């Protein structure tokens, strides 16, 4: 076994301090992310984005898929964009399903970007 030198002791102390600091910085962020299950509906919006009218508002209860949108409805040019809220609080749509975003407004904008001028067709609910 090697002798403990001053350099090794200081290196070990620095490594321990760095690890403790990193754990302290990461823990609150992980805790906040883990508790981001606030399922209150976002604020309503109504705007024109790249020439398309996008709207979002709290939705009335009912319908088979009402729980997926978290009680919130989004429309592109008057056609409802099928939305779903993920467990982490992010949102996805039927148009940009693999690109979660932070808000329904961002999901509507992502759908407009993805549609590239094509009309949004109604999504058949089973």
What radius of gyration, in Å, describes the C-alpha atoms of the chain?
23
Residue 35 pLDDT > 50: no
Mean pLDDT of 64-83: 79
Residue among 56, 58, 53, 49 at smallest CA distance from 109: 49
pLDDT score of 34: 45
Asked whether the predicted pLDDT for residue 48 surpasses 80, the reply is: yes
Average pLDDT over the chain, rounded to an integer: 78
Q: How confident is the model at residue 46 (pLDDT cuts 50, 70, 90)?
A: very high
The residue-averaged pLDDT of 38-67 equals 79
SS (H, E, C) 10-57: HHHHHHHHHHHHHHHHHHHHHHHHHCCCCCCCCCCEEEEECCEEEEEE
Lowest mean pLDDT among 9-18, 34-43, 89-98, 111-120: 34-43
Share of the chain above pLDDT 70, in %: 62
pLDDT tens per residue, range 97-115: 899 999 999 999 999 999 9
Mean pLDDT calculated for residue range 39-50: 87
Whether the predicted pLDDT of 31 surpasses 90: no
Q: Which residues does 61 contact at the CB level (< 8 Å), separation at least 6?
A: 71
């Amino acid at each position: 076994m090697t002798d403990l030198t001053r350099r090794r002791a200081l290196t070990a102390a620095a490594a321990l301090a760095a690890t403790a600091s990193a754990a302290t910085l990461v823990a609150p962020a992980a805790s906040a992310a883990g508790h981001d299950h606030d399922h209150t509906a976002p604020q309503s919006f109504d705007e024109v984005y790249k020439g398309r009218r996008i709207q979002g508002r709290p939705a009335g209860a009912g319908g088979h898929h009402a729980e997926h949108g978290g009680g919130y409805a989004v429309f592109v040019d008057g056609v409802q964009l099928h939305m779903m809220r993920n467990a982490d609080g992010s949102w996805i749509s039927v148009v940009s399903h693999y690109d979660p975003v932070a808000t329904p407004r961002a999901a509507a904008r992502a759908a407009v970007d993805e549609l590239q001028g094509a009309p949004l067709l109604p999504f058949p609910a089973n």
